[in-house]
Amino acid sequence: MLIVNDEHRIAAGIKSLSKRCSYCSKPLAEYPLIMNDDAGFAVFHAACAAALATDIMVDLYTFFRPPAPYSHLFTLTAVTSNGEGENHVVNGS
- The Cα 22–Cα 28 span in angstroms is 10
User: What are the residues whose beta carbons fall under 8 Å from the beta carbon of 14, sequence distance 6 or more?
Assistant: 3, 28, 33, 35, 43
Task: Say if CB 17 and CB 9 are below 8 A apart.
Answer: yes
- Evaluate if residue 93 carries a pLDDT over 50: no
Predicted local distance difference test score (pLDDT) of residue 27: 93
Residues 66-76: what's their mean pLDDT? Answer: 76
Task: Tell me what pLDDT residue 3 has.
Answer: 92
Mean residue pLDDT of the chain comes to 83
Q: How much of the chain, in percent, has pLDDT values that exceed 70?
A: 83
